[in-house]
Structure 1
Amino acid sequence: MKYTTEIVVDVPREEFIKKMDEPENMRHWQRGLVNYEQLSQNPGQEGAQMSLSYKMGKREITMVETIIKRNLPEELHTIYDTKGVHNIQKNYFKEEGDKTRWISESEFQFSGFGMKLMGLLMPGAFKKQSLKYMQDFKSFAETGKSVTDS
């Protein structure tokens, strides 16, 4: 399953990247993030891995993020792996005056019957979740509002 989402954030690209590239900021725009742990000696660089733990409703999900391409401020590509799901994220950051257009290409590959069925029956839920993270980042970047405030 593949889809693209995009949003315009009313901050200059340099400020956008600074806020996005700081792991401590993730808790302000990634709802449900409980913990993260750097798994590599070279955090933030190509090949680096980080473990991310989320609580979504009653479910707890742990995934590993791997940076596969880091060409900031233009692009950042990552892979997220968790049980039954392999997600490739290609993020592009376009300068538009004092604003930044964030374009995110998502590709989900499912394994196991349950996850394949979920991907087939609920593709909109994945896109909706991606867009929600983008909107929450926009709110955090523009106004400093954190998802932890609600």
Structure 2
Amino acid sequence: MKYVNTIEIALPRERVAQLLADPEQLPKWLRGMVVHEPVNGVHGQVGTKSRVVFRSGQQEMELTETITRRDPVDLNEIPAEVVVHYERETVGGGMRSVVRDRLTEAGPERTLWESESEFRFSGVVMRLVGLLMPGSFRKQSQQHMQDFKAFAEQGKDVREAAD
């Protein structure tokens, strides 16, 4: 299953890229994230593997994330014509996903975030979930992007909304 989500954020591309790459900011906008810790490597750098744990209600899912692309490496003073690429592969819970994020300038002080997601499922249950509820994956991805936008533009923290 493949799909693309997009959102425009009222911040310069460099700032959006920095916020997305900052591990300290993840819990503020990524709903359900309990743990995101490198197992080897440095957070956000190509080749780094991280242990990621999400909680939804009483259920937890543990995944392994590998950063497969980050271009450019330096997120300060990115030339206007350069598109920022950040790609990761996540495995666990009967699925494998690849997410390819692209950040482009959408105008002065505006960034277009395009996120292409691809999921593959293993096991009978996850294959059924993928077949019967494909829209839920796209909807969850869009919610993460909207939460990031609210965090980046207005400082809204998803943890405060959950309390």
TM-score above 0.5: yes
* 1:129 positional shift: 0.3
The C-alpha deviation readout for 1:45-67, integer Å capped at 9, x for no partner, is 11101111111122101111100
Secondary structure, in 3 states, of the residue corresponding to 1:145? coil
How far, CA to CA, are the matches of 2:159 and 2:45 in structure 1? 27
Q: Indicate if the aligned counterparts of 2:23 and 2:43 stay in contact, CA closer than 8 A.
A: no
Distance in 1 of aligned mates of 2:36 and 2:100: 21
* Equivalent pair of 2:95/2:126 in contact (CA under 8 Å): yes
RMSD over aligned CA atoms reads 1.0
In the alignment, residue 47 of structure 1 is paired with which amino acid?
A: G
Runs of 4+ aligned structure 1 residues displaced above 6 Å come to: none
Which digits, 9 at most, give the CA deviation of each residue in 1:83-125, with x for residues without a partner? 2100000100011121110000000000000000000000000
Match of 1:137 in 2: 148
- Name stretches of at least 5 consecutive residues in structure 2 with no aligned partner: 76-83
Distance in 2, Cα, partners of 1:75 & 1:91:
6
Deviation at 1:34, TM superposition (A): 1.1
Alignment partner, residue 27 of structure 1: 27
Once the two structures are superposed, the pairs formed by residues 107-146 of structure 1 within 5 Å of their partners are 107-146=118-157
Aligned-partner residue type, residue 3 of structure 1: Y
Partner SS, residue 101 of structure 1: strand
Report percent identity of matched pairs. 39
SS in 1 for 2:25: helix
Aligned: 1:106 with 2:140: no
In 1, the alpha carbon distance for the partners of 2:40 and 2:125 equals: 31
Aligned residues: 150
TM-score for both structures, normalised by structure 2: 0.89
Gaps in structure 1 of 5+ consecutive residues: none
Per the alignment, in what secondary structure is the counterpart of residue 24 of structure 1?
Answer: coil
**Aligned ranges for residues 14-93 of structure 1 at < 5 Å?**
14-72=14-72, 74-93=84-103
2:106 to 92, 96, 103: 96
The residue type equivalent to 2:20 in the other structure is M
